[in-house]
Structure 1
Amino acid sequence: MSAQTINIKIVGISFMIFLFSSIKLNAQDISYDKKIGKEAHDEIVSTVGLYHHPFETYLAQIGKRLELNIENKQFNYQFYILDMKEPNAMALPGGYVYFSRGILPLANSEAELAGVLGHEIIHAHKRHSIKAMRKGIFPAILQIPGEIINVVISPQLGNLINTPIKYTGELFSSNYSRKNEKEADKFGVALSAKSGYEPLALVKMLNKLEKVAKLSSDEEAKFSFFDSHPMTAKRESDIQKRVKKLEVADVNPIIKDQNIFLKKLDGISLSGNPAHGVFQDYVFLHPDMGFVIEFPKDWLTSNSPEMVGAVDSTKSAQLFMGVKAEQKKPSIYAEETKKELPLDDIVLINDKKIKINENEGYIISMGSKEAEEKMVIHMLWLNMGKYTFQILAAGDESYNEILKKSVLSIRPITKKEKKSVKATVLRIVEAKENETLTSLSERTKNVLNLEYLSIINELEVSTKLSKGQLIKIGKEETYPE
């Protein structure tokens, strides 16, 4: 959940999925691409989040150099880093191009980044996403994670009221057709070469991405680059054949010195981003917003820039928490919400001011007038610090005490708890003469898997290193005050 306040809209009890509009592809009219791309971009920013690091300026500079060499350019391209630890890259209609922060540690040269950027630029330039949508294979840019989508919300009560919280879940990657991938490879490497970059660098990056994908869990692999851009021996062979026919423009890279390039990667987050809060078992700590809340043990948890929550393992109860865009008295938000409720069809169980750890709040609890309906929904607004928190809890009566215990657990974070929040970050360190990745890892207290370390450094773990050679490692560090 982001430290930035968020306007949480009333959007319906079944969590909103952002769907692309049904559109008719018009080869001459790119206004559709721009409209759809902007809508999807706004949704990604609010649900996945952007990652801010000095490297984003450099990435945009590479992208803009490539953009200058696009023939018959249709869009003004924008380049962003997503706050996503899985290695991925994607393009939206209208010229929105994204790298996840998880893909950046794999790069060892500007040309490798340019290769992937060029590939994604071509997807947007050739309108592949729009074409895929038309064929019905790109139905949504966002989807609810599998753990959440089957939550049992009472259909009767769900039809009666709206919930003040929306949840759009994880980034959804489309599977482009083979023709689209082939086209993006063909014109992408040509764009790289025309911009002064070694086009075969794309193959190097693809091979590293493939190796990392094999190390990932099935769940992580769902959101990896290779879930949507599969690598095959034929694909690699085709790229290599095309590259032989290309002439690389005689233009210096933005950064010529590899050591300077590597140092630019220093500090990139490799784990979950503490700026959005972190789970320690079932306890959620948010160091920036300054609070702690305990979710029920063994529930399935989820955290995004927009909200944090958990679902019972049987998917019959839930608890989600967000932040209002403006701090007001909780009673004001409650009154605004009650105006939207069909009060003739529901029973208000609670409708009152409360205090939680001396913080002012207001709760509305409601159920259906239908006798067979057992679901109860609790909506709570709470002022704590400079924020108005908004909590939705839903479940049948048997969950009342469990949900109540969690809601009442919210409190300010202590100094000790804040210091316990750790983050794994990429650090660039100097090797000693004749060290190996194994011995360097031990000396520097690297926390990354040695196999992954080998991939991102393009070195065997037993290779003898030279004095001063720069190596990427992962360090677990206390989140800054």
Structure 2
Amino acid sequence: MKINIIYALAFCCTIFNTNAQSIEIDKRLGKESAKAVELEMGIYNNEKLSEYVSSLGQRLVSHLDKPLFDYEFHVVDDPIPNAFATPGGYIYVTRGILSIIASEDELACVMAHEIIHAQNRHSVKQMGKSILPKLLELPGRVVGQVVNDDIGRILNAPITTSNSLLLASYSRSHETESDVEGVILASKAGYDPDAMKSILVRLSKSMEILTNQKEVKGYFNSHPYTPDRLEKITKTTAKLDWETKTKVSKDFPQPLDSLLFGANPDKGFFQENTFIHPAMNFSFQFPNDWHTENKPTSVNGMNKDKSAALFLGLDDVSKTPKELAHEFISGVKKEHRAKPAFSDHYKINNNDGYLVSYLDDSENKQMYIHTLWLKMDGKMFKIIGIAPKSKEDELKKSVLSFHPLTDKEKSIVKNRYIRVVESKGGETFDQICKHHNCILSPDLTAFINGMDSTSSLKDGTLIKIIIEEDYFN
């Protein structure tokens, strides 16, 4: 599985020579990357499910010849089907992949694959080959300070090249190695190694559904082509002599009951160009056709030609908007001897705020930087807008749209959950979905259960369905 997390580490790439370095590097990197995973993605809060995943993981680890690390297993609050390992034995599975897992054997094979990545130190070996991501570049000295300092604080990671963000991904040879050694490890723990093939096919299909793109074989793909992986796994499992053992869960998929399905509304979401955050009770409208992103510590947007940007985050609620504004003004004055073009109290929808605006023409291109502190519902919001004069009206319209959620907006917020139900003898997926008011089609319901939608089910078969509930009851 491709690792899908950014390591915010300030280590130079040249230290990653695993032939010369001890596993202490992995442990050190692992602790830092674990913090990044928790910040960027979040750990899913479900004690029973976490205990189940950890118990399964520890069973697999017990069959390693010599574990290098004290392995940890976590469920990540991410709807995308994925699993990944970070250095030092930190293994993660997402909510998304759990939702399409059809058996404990499949889950064991996925986790064994990731354990091998960690055990064979693939992350550390690959990090030296990583590419630094592109950084936000807007003209102007004052703009530069706002981007690096204030927006950096909002994003909770300085946007500077001195703190390199390293994106690790595995080579195809590492993936093949983990496929082969992973199914061997799973078989030692008493799991069907061929289950890796069924979950790989379903994972490939789920990504086709999500991206609307069919998997193709390509030289530059980091992962081997799925049919090639299946062929290699088949050759490996044909040589294995293994015995099934008692499962950690005797009634899988029962451990997945009540698992949140799809995007987590608590993190906020976009409804077209409007951002809605039910947990923090606010709505904010970005200009049409802007590129937007929702990060754990901020929500951001940028226009197509990258000449204008908006950032919304939180600031120190113990201070007033005016106090925070004056601290900001002092910092800019000290660094650039610049004075604000505007600085005064500013109200939006009867909420007290303070607005500071600068005009930066240090690079022969006039750029306006507006920073607004706004207190609402016991929180201190900070909105930063950067744009040329021609985009001023767009920025102002967006900022003025900031408001507490209306009843209409609240009504569209839903939670989706997995429910595990028992089928009746001869029942079809079409009948199950109608009886339980499933929000997925019979075809997709069968898909996440690893079955054919035309199947006639046996009595007492445990089936995952997806139901929907109002967020605001």
* TM-score normalised to structure 1 length: 0.84
Structure 1 residue 219 displacement after superposition: 8.4
Q: Does 1:262 align with 2:253?
A: yes
- Distance in 1, Cα, partners of 2:23 & 2:149: 36
Superimposed CA distance per residue, residues 191-212 of structure 1 (whole angstroms, 9 cap, x where no aligned partner): 2122222222222211221222
Q: Report the RMSD for the aligned CA atoms in angstroms.
A: 3.1
Correspondence for 1:44 among 23, 37, 43: 37
Q: Please, which moves more after superposition, 378-387 or 465-474?
A: 465-474
Separation in 1 of the partners of 2:380 and 2:392?
23
Q: Are 2:170 and 1:176 aligned?
A: yes
Aligned counterpart in structure 2 of residue 290 of structure 1, from 269, 277, 281: 281
2:275 counterpart SS class: strand
Give the 3 Å change call, closer, same or farther, for CA 20–238 of structure 1 in structure 2. Answer: farther
Q: 1 CA distance for matches of 2:437 and 2:116?
A: 41
- Report what 1:337 is aligned to: 328
Which residue of 1 is the match for residue 375 of structure 2?
383
The yes-or-no answer on 1:424 pairing with 2:416 is yes
Retained in 1: the 8 A contact 2:309–2:386? yes
Equivalent residue of 1:377, what SS? strand
Change (3 A) 1:24 1:286: closer
Contact 1:348 1:365 in 2 (8 A): yes
SS of equivalent residue, structure 2 residue 93: strand
Q: Secondary structure at the match of 1:90?
A: strand
Normalising by structure 2, we get a TM-score of 0.85
SS at match of 2:69: coil
Match of 2:464 in 1: 472
Structure 2 counterpart of 1:153: 138
Matches within 5 A, 1:117-132: 117-132=111-126
Aligned-partner residue type, residue 99 of structure 1: V
Q: CA deviation at 1:303?
A: 1.0
Partner residue in 2 for 1:237: 231
- Decide whether the 8 Å contact of 1:436 with 1:462 is kept in 2: yes
8 Å contact kept, 2:140–2:361: no
- Indicate conservation of the 8 Å contact 1:431/1:470, yes or no: yes
Question: Distance between the aligned counterparts of 1:448 and 1:307, measured in 2?
Answer: 31
Q: Does 1:208 align with 2:202?
A: yes
Check whether the contact 2:18–2:125 (CA below 8 A) recurs between aligned residues. no
Contact in 2 for aligned 1:36/1:94 (Cα 8 Å): yes
**How big is each residue's C-alpha offset from its partner over 1:99-137, in whole Å with a ceiling of 9 and x where there is no partner?**
121101121222211111111011011111111123x1x
Conserved in 2, the CA contact under 8 Å of 1:345 and 1:368?
no
Q: Distance in 1 between matches of 2:103 and 2:28?
A: 34
1:377-456 correspondence runs (5 A):
377-456=369-448
CA distances 1:268-304 after superposition (whole Å, capped 9, x unpaired): 2332210011222222222211222222233222112
Task: After TM superposition, give the deviation of residue 59 of structure 1 in Å.
Answer: 0.9
Can you list the C-alpha shifts for 1:244-276, whole angstroms capped at 9, x where unaligned? 44343664221123xxx2222122233221001
Q: Which whole-Å CA distance do the structure 1 matches of 2:331 and 2:177 have between them?
A: 50
- For the Cα contact (< 8 Å) 1:279–1:285, is it kept in 2? yes
SS across alignment from 1:411: coil
Do the aligned partners of 2:7 and 2:36 also contact (CA within 8 Å) in 1? no
Q: Distance in 2 between matches of 1:278 and 1:371?
A: 36
Q: In the alignment, what sits opposite 2:95?
A: 101
Whether 2:350 is the aligned partner of 1:358: answer: yes
Q: Give the match for residue 313 of structure 1.
A: 304
Whether the 8 Å CA contact 2:83–2:110 is kept in 1: the answer is: yes
In the aligned structure 2, how far is the partner of 1:452 from the partner of 1:227? 27
1:392 to 1:52, Cα distance in 2 relative to 1, 3 A: same
Closer/same/farther in 2, CA of residues 361 and 369 from structure 1, 3 Å limit: same
Deviations 1:41-84 (A, max 9, x none): 22222222222234222111111222222222221112222222
- CA drift at 1:220: 11
Gaps in structure 2 of 5+ consecutive residues = 1-5, 160-164
Checking the alignment, whether the CA contact within 8 Å between 1:91 and 1:120 is kept in structure 2 is yes
Displacement, 1:376? 0.9
Percent identity for Structure 1 against Structure 2: 36
Deviates more, 1:64-73 or 1:427-436: 427-436
What secondary structure does 1:165 align onto?
helix
Tell me: CA distance 1:252–1:311, structure 2 relative to 1, closer, same or farther (3 Å): same
The amino acid of 1:91's aligned partner reads A
How far apart are 1:160 and its partner, in Å? 4.8
Question: Which residue pairs with 1:67 in the alignment?
Answer: 61
CA distance in 1, matches of 2:271, 2:367: 29
In structure 2, the residue matched to 1:12 is none
Return the alpha-carbon distance in structure 1 between the equivalents of residues 137 and 404 of structure 2.
Answer: 32
Alignment partner of 1:111 is 2:105: yes
> What is the CA distance between 1:218 and its match in structure 2?
5.6
CA distance in 1, matches of 2:213, 2:322: 41
Structure 2 letter corresponding to 1:397: K
- Three-state SS of the structure 2 residue aligned to 1:314 is coil
> One-letter code of the match for 1:378?
H
Aligned residue pairs: how many? Answer: 450
User: Which stretch has the larger CA shift, 18-27 or 399-408?
Assistant: 18-27
Residue of structure 2 in register with 1:302 after alignment = 293
Residues 109 and 388 (structure 1), Cα distance of their counterparts in 2 relative to 1, 3 Å cut = same
Secondary structure of the corresponding residue to residue 335 of structure 1: helix
Give the corresponding residue for 1:56.
Answer: 50
Alpha-carbon deviation of 1:398? 2.1
Residue 85 of structure 2 aligns to a residue whose secondary structure is: strand
Question: For residues 167 and 191 of structure 2, what CA distance do their matches in structure 1 show?
Answer: 27
When structure 1 is superposed on structure 2, of 422-431 and 58-67 the one drifting more is 422-431
- Distance in 2 of aligned mates of 1:17 and 1:317: 27
* Deviation (angstroms), 1:396: 1.0
Q: Quick one: structure 1 residues 348 and 173, their matched pair in 2 at CA, closer, same or farther if it must change by over 3 Å?
A: closer
Give the whole-Å Cα distance in 2 for the aligned partners of 1:204 and 1:430: 23
Q: Within 1, Cα distance between the matches of 2:16 and 2:277?
A: 44
Match of 2:162 in 1: none
Q: Matched residue of 1:340: which SS?
A: helix
